[in-house]
Structure 1
Amino acid sequence: MSTVFVWTGVTLAAYGVAAWWYRRSGHHLLCLPVLTGTALVWGALALAHVDYPVYAEATRALRWLTGPAIIALAVPLYRQAALLRRMAGPLLGALLAGCLVSVLGTLALAKALGTPLPFALSLAPKAATMPIAMQAAEGAGGLPAVAALAVVATGVLGTLFAAPVLRRLRIDDDITRSFTLGLVAHAIGTARALQTQPQSVAFAALAMGLNGVGTALVLALLVR
């Protein structure tokens, strides 16, 4: 029980410090809490010589909270329901294209590089949000821990590069930008959209949720 309190407290403290630093930096992308907070937790684990499985078991309650947090995104979706219905066709087309390119492109590249299949299956759901990606990878025969690292890396890199790429393409529509962030960078991109385009964050939440479901389905069908 003491381990649970210690590592839960360390995780919350790391997030608090990371969030404070993120605000002090002017919301600089390289100071995203998921990046700096993770580094702080890793540092604490290394100093304490604690293995990740021990930490994962101690912080199980925090991982459970990701479910209600994702479900809470239904609130902005409900508020934008009428607009979402009007744009259903283009949104679904973009979602299908993004999902297939992410999963199939990863597997094709992994095969071309001679990557072992379990590792490739772990990377394939990288654009899905963390709980879905880990379950999808495990169900397909991949490694959940590798999938988790791939999800974090994809979220950070997707958030970093989405804005410059969209500017280069001269796309300045808030809805398109929000949907793109949710599609390529899942929860991290959605959090960024909430800060930069709060009026259209529902589209980021929609992309994140549907892409997670679509990724799991595509991967399951491929494995079958």
Structure 2
Amino acid sequence: MRGDELLDLARSPLVLLLITLGGYQAGRWLQRRTGGHALAQPVLPAIAAAGIAITVLDVDYADYRSATELIAFWLGPATVALAIPLHRQADRLKGFVVPLLVAIVAGAVTSIVTAVLIARALGADEQLEKTLSAKAATTPVAIALTQSLGGIPPLAAVFAISIGIVSAITAPAVLNLLRIRDRRARGLAVGAVSHGIGASRMLREDETEGAFAGLAMGLSALAISLLVPVLALVLF
């Protein structure tokens, strides 16, 4: 097989899909080998493998996104499946609904306002401020909101994913340092900030924490999608 034929094969959708899945499996192996260490997030090797592949093979991101559409499709059912542990923990919602909703709204407002004001204080332009405003939402929501505001959607996706990874790594340790022991509050805090990545981390820690992280992920995305257009009238 000639070199150009090998290159075309390496750029094929099947190979790109296998590279992505292989990177994630490598991350899971590393996670098991380290005993579930906070820094061993499976998403990181998957991102590294995909980034190296599309750079070395000179693959356009749109082509890579199309090749891995199958993974994106299954993210939907996987997210919905987070409702299963919440259903098992439904009795833990008693007396917690009002504090939960207040915390979600307060957290969303704080996330939006602080991101914009800090970016402004550091000299960012308005387009970057708009891009950062939806950083705590899930990636699809952040992209859609940023596009409607006139920000930079691809950069919004980078911020959302990066913040999700960093929060999933650091948040449990921060909560321990602050002596926050309530499983519901811990899950709520992490899910509101680091969405799917954080929810999966908390689900490994404890089923109650994972259930409330999944709930917080959905409610935060809803709150941010409603609040960003309103706060944008004041902030921009």
TM-score norm. by structure 2 comes to: 0.87
Q: 1:98 — aligned with what?
A: 107
For residues 80-159 of structure 1, what are the structure 2 equivalents within 5 Å? 80-159=89-168
124-133 vs 58-67, which deviates more? Answer: 58-67
Contact 2:41 2:169 in 1 (8 A): no
Determine if the alignment matches structure 1 residue 26 to structure 2 residue 35.
Answer: yes
Distance in 2 separating the partners of 1:25 and 1:3: 33
Equivalent AA in structure 2 for residue 135 of structure 1: A
- What percentage of residue pairs aligned between the two structures are identical? 37
Equivalent AA in structure 2 for residue 178 of structure 1: G
Contact 2:201 2:210 in 1 (8 A): no
Equivalent AA in structure 2 for residue 57 of structure 1: S
Deviations 1:156-201 (A, max 9, x none): 2212221232222211222221111111211111011111112332
Determine if the alignment matches structure 1 residue 168 to structure 2 residue 167.
Answer: no
Deviations 1:113-165 (A, max 9, x none): 23122222222211112222222222222222111110121112212221232
Determine if the alignment matches structure 1 residue 196 to structure 2 residue 196.
Answer: no
Q: 2:25 — aligned with what?
A: 16
TM-score norm. by structure 1 comes to: 0.92
43-52 vs 184-193, which deviates more? Answer: 43-52
Following superposition, the deviation at residue 209 of structure 1 comes to 0.6
Q: 1:49 — aligned with what?
A: 58
Following superposition, the deviation at residue 85 of structure 1 comes to 4.3
2:196 match: secondary structure? helix
Following superposition, the deviation at residue 221 of structure 1 comes to 2.2
Equivalent AA in structure 1 for residue 34 of structure 2: S
36-45 vs 113-122, which deviates more? Answer: 113-122
Equivalent AA in structure 1 for residue 122 of structure 2: L
Q: 1:182 — aligned with what?
A: 191
Correspondence for 1:213 among 213, 217, 222:
222
Distance in 1 separating the partners of 2:150 and 2:74: 25
> 5+ residue gaps in structure 2?
1-8
Contact 2:21 2:46 in 1 (8 A): no
1:31 match: secondary structure? coil
Equivalent AA in structure 1 for residue 121 of structure 2: A
Q: 1:36 — aligned with what?
A: 45
19-28 vs 70-79, which deviates more? Answer: 70-79
Distance in 1 separating the partners of 2:95 and 2:231: 32
Deviations 1:63-114 (A, max 9, x none): 2322222122222222223322431011111111111111111011122223
Following superposition, the deviation at residue 10 of structure 1 comes to 1.6
Distance in 1 separating the partners of 2:174 and 2:36: 19
What's the Cα RMSD here? 1.9
Q: Tell which structure's C-alpha radius of gyration is larger.
A: 2
The alignment covers a number of residue pairs equal to 224
Equivalent AA in structure 1 for residue 159 of structure 2: A
